[in-house]
Amino acid sequence: MKNLFLLAFVIVAAKISAQELKADMEHALLKVEVLDNKKKPQANQYISFASLKEGKQYGGTTNAQGKFSILIPPAQKYKVKYKIFSKEQGDQILDMPSAAGPYTFEFTLTVTPPRTFTLDNVFFDSGKSTLRAESNKELNELAEYMGLKPSLVIEIGGHTDNVGAADANQKLSEDRANAVKEYLQKKGIAAERVRAKGYGDTKPVADNSTAAGKQKNRRTVVNIVSE
């Protein structure tokens, strides 16, 4: 039995070793580490590298230590991108050097998610809490992001302009926040990970005396509670 166990261990170890990435003449081994501004590893974060020369895209998802490795053509420049909630971020350029032979390159990226994020493409029927179909894309992306961050807890904040009675606006904002929460639950996000809160017209971010200002004040906001 002991010999069988050792044989099984050797076979498994051999398979793992065979799967290890190695640089060759056409590809460098890129070792990526993703941290926040406090040097905390960012797990389950997808990072992409878009070649400015060929237009091809390479990428990977970080492990629990905030790391992953990929094979990538050397002697090229890449635009580094990542997603925070539903928006793609990043303007950093990675310049992979040229070399006479295979090599390994280490790259550290700092990613710091904002504590507050406005869902710009979440829309409701006028005066109602019914989500419009064009909201689905951004909410689906939010649900996908939360799926990658299983410890993330958020608050959905509903906000209105100052048209109408304050108590009616308060109720409408609460209903809209709950509508977003219910949508995320239908996408598999646990109820305890999403809090819904209505703020009515109490926290404007623009002048309510203009149409443009009113539109900015009618918004749905994601607030990070804990990570």
Q: Looking at the domain assignment, is residue 3 inside a domain?
A: no
Burial 120-141 (b: 16+ CB within 10 A, else e): ebbbbeeeebebeeebeebbeb
What per-residue confidence (pLDDT) applies to 69?
97
Q: Looking at the domain assignment, is residue 4 inside a domain?
A: no
pTM for the whole thing? Answer: 0.74
Give backbone dihedrals phi and psi of 220, rounded to 5 degrees, phi first.
Answer: -120, 125
Q: Do 222 and 121 fall within a single domain?
A: yes
- CATH number of the domain within which 136 lies: 3.30.1330.60
**Residues 226, 115: Cα–Cα separation, whole Å:** 9
Q: Do 200 and 121 fall within a single domain?
A: yes
Q: Average pLDDT in the 161-172 region? A: 95
Range of the domain at 150: 116-226
Q: Do 222 and 120 fall within a single domain?
A: yes
pLDDT tens per residue, range 32-66: 999 998 899 999 899 999 999 999 999 999 999 99
Q: Looking at the domain assignment, is residue 158 inside a domain?
A: yes
Q: Do 129 and 222 fall within a single domain?
A: yes
Q: Which residue type is seen at 186? A: K
What per-residue confidence (pLDDT) applies to 2?
39
Q: Do 33 and 60 fall within a single domain?
A: yes
- Evaluate if residue 186 carries a pLDDT over 90: yes
Q: Do 144 and 195 fall within a single domain?
A: yes
Centre a 10 Å sphere on the Cβ of residue 5 and count the other Cβ atoms it contains. Answer: 9
Strand partners, 31: 69, 106
Last residue of a domain, one of 59, 83, 110: 110
Query: What torsion, rounded to 10 degrees, do the Cα atoms 52, 58, 64, 66 define?
Result: -20
Q: Looking at the domain assignment, is residue 15 inside a domain?
A: no
In a 3-state reduction of DSSP, which class is residue 108? strand
pLDDT tens per residue, range 83-140: 887 778 888 999 999 999 999 999 999 998 788 989 999 999 889 999 999 999 999 9
